[in-house]
Amino acid sequence: MNDLTATGMAAKAASRTLAILPTARKNEALHAIAAELEAQQELILAQNSLDVADGRTKGLSDSLLDRLLLTPARLAALAADTHKVATLPDPVGAELESRMLSNGMRLSRRRIPIGVLGVIYEARPNVTIDIAALSLKAGNAAILRGGSETLRSNRALVQAIQTALRQVNLPAASVQLIDDPDRALVTALLRLDKYVDMIIPRGGAGLHQLCKEQSTIPVITGGIGICHLFVDESADLERAVDIIENSKVQRPSVCNALDTLLVHTAVAPQFLLMIAQRMAQCGVELRASPAAYELLRQTPARVLPAGADDFDQEWLSLVMGVHLVADVQEAIAFIQAHTTEHTESILTNNLANANAFVNALSSAALFVNASTRFTDGGQFGLGAEVAVSTQKLHARGPMGLEELTTYKWIGYGDGHIRP
């Protein structure tokens, strides 16, 4: 029996300590956590082995088992990442603005932590360390709920974190794990609005939908990217092939990978032949709408006619939709009808078309003559990535440390009353 009220209360109390902690103390805690990960390596790897063995028995796929696996090298990398978070600038405490009102009151807006984060994720033990470190650096307490496949690994990791927190005289409840695999506790966490200020789901569309449906706490939805790339008439076609390969093939399982290729009809006969050859070399299977299919079936590409829902799919694999459009306006309309507002790219040398694309679409990230793969906290220079938001409130696109903060207004008066 896992009493989430007690967990929530402890997290809220810890968050009040963390909120006013000097940067040096938070960094001290991060270094202590990194050291403890190395010190408890044997225990952590032993527990992880049990998770991996169980996963194998349960028939988890090789790729899932690989995501679950910790090794001495991976644990050392996690410790190094934690040391690195200590070197990032502290987002808390900055005055975002400060001005004198006409009545003489000094009014400022100060950046403060969000408070308590609830993080729900799947079978990746590295998320446990990542999110704990980033949450702590931004002055937040975190309640973590990992996948049941990693329960023993996560217990060992959070135990190391809490040992380190105690060493530096910080509340162990700054990072807590819901260590009961009962799924009802996910729903319970989503309704713990008395104590939890923000929910961050890191997982597939089903998890995001569950959070949207069930949560009474504000949720950062995102991470689902049906990403489009439009090859305009004036695009440099040679480079377009390289950009599309990068967008689609470099890491097909992530949210910024390309899903749907749109091609201007004027260049389609020439370009589809070029892209078909490259995609065939890369093992990418195409799903083409009728006009594109007619052209592609005469190429070396593996191609199927696109099904009814094929343009509303985040493929997460070596599959890509292909559709022809008459101009940039048709490309925009097609994207608006199918996008999850994650990332879209236009390849063009036409200034008016580049501007039309970038102005009309409201996706979290829009690129001109670049790969969709750039939507990433590291690539954007944020220093870290907590999640990628595709919703309209709070943060959009890659979220770094600043996006784990909010602000308060502070007014210094001198006996001021409102007229």
- What residue ranges bind its own copies (CB under 8 A)? 16, 19-20, 99, 101-102, 105, 107, 112-115, 193, 197-198, 212-213, 216, 218-220, 236, 239, 242-243, 246, 250, 336, 354, 358-371, 373-376, 379-381, 391-394, 396-397, 406-418
**In the numeric block, which tokens belong to residue 103?**
């009545």
> At closest approach, how far in Å is the CB of 358 from its own copies?
5
CA–CA gap between residue 280 and residue 300 (Å, rounded) = 6
Q: Of 317 and 359, which has the nearer Cβ to its own copies?
A: 359
Q: Of 317 and 406, which has the nearer Cβ to its own copies?
A: 406
Longest dimension (CA), the chain: 81
Contact 342, 225 (CB under 8 A): yes
Q: Of 226 and 366, which has the nearer Cβ to its own copies?
A: 366
Q: How far is CA 116 from the centre of its chain?
A: 18
Tell me the CA distances in angstroms from 394 to 114, 219, 389, one per residue in order. Answer: 11, 10, 9
> At closest approach, how far in Å is the CB of 415 from its own copies?
4
> At closest approach, how far in Å is the CB of 325 from its own copies?
17
Q: What letter does residue 300 receive in the DSSP assignment? A: S
* Phi and psi torsions of 317, nearest 5°: -160, 180
Residues 6+ away with beta carbon under 8 Å from 209: none
Q: Of 66 and 213, which has the nearer Cβ to its own copies?
A: 213
> At closest approach, how far in Å is the CB of 179 from its own copies?
26
Strands ordered across the beta sheet of 319-325: 302-305, 285-288, 319-325, 258-264, 227-231, 343-347
Q: Is the dihedral of CA 156, 160, 163, 165 positive or negative?
A: negative
> At closest approach, how far in Å is the CB of 320 from its own copies?
16
CA–CA gap between residue 110 and residue 95 (Å, rounded) = 4
* Phi and psi torsions of 39, nearest 5°: -65, -35
Q: Of 137 and 152, which has the nearer Cβ to its own copies?
A: 137
Tell me the CA distances in angstroms from 232 to 140, 241, 263, 368, one per residue in order. Answer: 45, 13, 6, 11
CA–CA gap between residue 74 and residue 80 (Å, rounded) = 10
Contact 299, 272 (CB under 8 A): yes
Closest CA to 256 of 229, 292, 283: 229
CA–CA gap between residue 257 and residue 340 (Å, rounded) = 13
